[in-house]
Amino acid sequence: MALHLSPSFCLFSITITFILVHVPTSVSAIHAKYENCIAPFRCANLENIEYPFWGASRPEYCGHPSYHLDCEGEVAEISIMETSYRVIHINNSSGTLTVAVEDYWNDICPSNLVSGTINSSFFNYTSDTGNITLYYDCPPLVKDISAALLPFKFNCILEETDTNNYYFIWGNNSVNRNILSSITNYFESCGTNVTIPVRQSAFLFLETNPASAKVSTALKGGFDLQWYANNTLCDQCKDSGGLCGFDTDTDKFTCYCPDKPYSWTCPSKSTSHVFIHYLSS
């Protein structure tokens, strides 16, 4: 006897098959990389860190290669252009991080004099950032500028020799414009100098508190950096329900979705919703 199937039963069977084949995320296990990257990331003193950062137990594919955090000590650190920075704060919403040059955190006279240089391909200074220049191993002051520079002098012993050292903010309103040329010539005769970024608020602080001890406080305040790590693609990925990451094999951005990684965004679920709605009607 031949088996006759009703049209409605056939349509129901086809619909179920389509859903099982095309909506695997609802019935299959969560993709391993998605599961690893969605886990909370804590690095030393910082919590709830997201892409593009990675380090410690967080795999590299959850972040971007240029944003590795050293989480071994009590504070998080990041290396930029071979300079180590202490990470004071990370703002996921604005895409900025506050950092301070690690070598100057405890000593304004470190054995390794470094400037706060960044890689402009991945970071940029915010508009609130300015520079303090530190001058080391300078000659004795000449009379016409001594009164202007003495408030900016700080003590330093380099190679067991007490030297003349100064910090200076170019554009400082408290300095007489008429002697800037003499100050410039004087600083050119110093042994070396480094430029350290700080927030604009540090300028105001130092203008009203020019004592040498205050410059260390200003440097510890750090400065803000904007990061660039496929920001637009990451926003699109997150809007589609995915997690941002980086495929080290292809050297490209990737979007981790519950079922598998995609190049840009997670696929739309609108089609599956149509069929589920049909079954329930």
pLDDT tens figures, 78-128: 999 989 999 999 999 999 999 999 999 988 888 888 888 888 999 999 999
Hey, how many other C-beta atoms are within 10 angstroms of the C-beta on 113? 15
Q: In this structure, are residues 104 and 115 in contact, taking their beta carbons and an 8 Å threshold?
A: no
Q: In this structure, are residues 118 and 80 in contact, taking their beta carbons and an 8 Å threshold?
A: yes
Q: Is the pTM of this model over 0.85?
A: no
Hey, how many other C-beta atoms are within 10 angstroms of the C-beta on 187? 17
Hey, how many other C-beta atoms are within 10 angstroms of the C-beta on 151? 16
| pLDDT band of 54, cuts 50, 70, 90 | very high
| pLDDT band of 1, cuts 50, 70, 90 | very low
Predicted confidence at residue 241, as pLDDT, reads: 95
Q: Which amino acid belongs to residue 124? A: N
Predicted confidence at residue 13, as pLDDT, reads: 46
pLDDT digits (tens, 9 = 90+) for 155-210: 876 555 667 899 998 876 667 777 888 999 999 999 999 999 999 888 878 877 76
The C-alpha atoms of residue 131 and residue 129 are separated, in whole angstroms, by 7
57: which 2 tokens? 């137990």
| pLDDT band of 213, cuts 50, 70, 90 | low
| pLDDT band of 29, cuts 50, 70, 90 | low
Predicted confidence at residue 19, as pLDDT, reads: 42
Predicted confidence at residue 95, as pLDDT, reads: 95
Whether omega before 24 lies within 30 degrees of 0, making that bond cis, reads no
Predicted confidence at residue 100, as pLDDT, reads: 96
Mean pLDDT of the chain: 83
The C-alpha atoms of residue 261 and residue 184 are separated, in whole angstroms, by 56
4: which 2 tokens? 């006759």
Would you say residue 274 has pLDDT above 50?
Answer: no
* Of 244 and 215, more confident: 244
Q: In this structure, are residues 197 and 223 in contact, taking their beta carbons and an 8 Å threshold?
A: yes
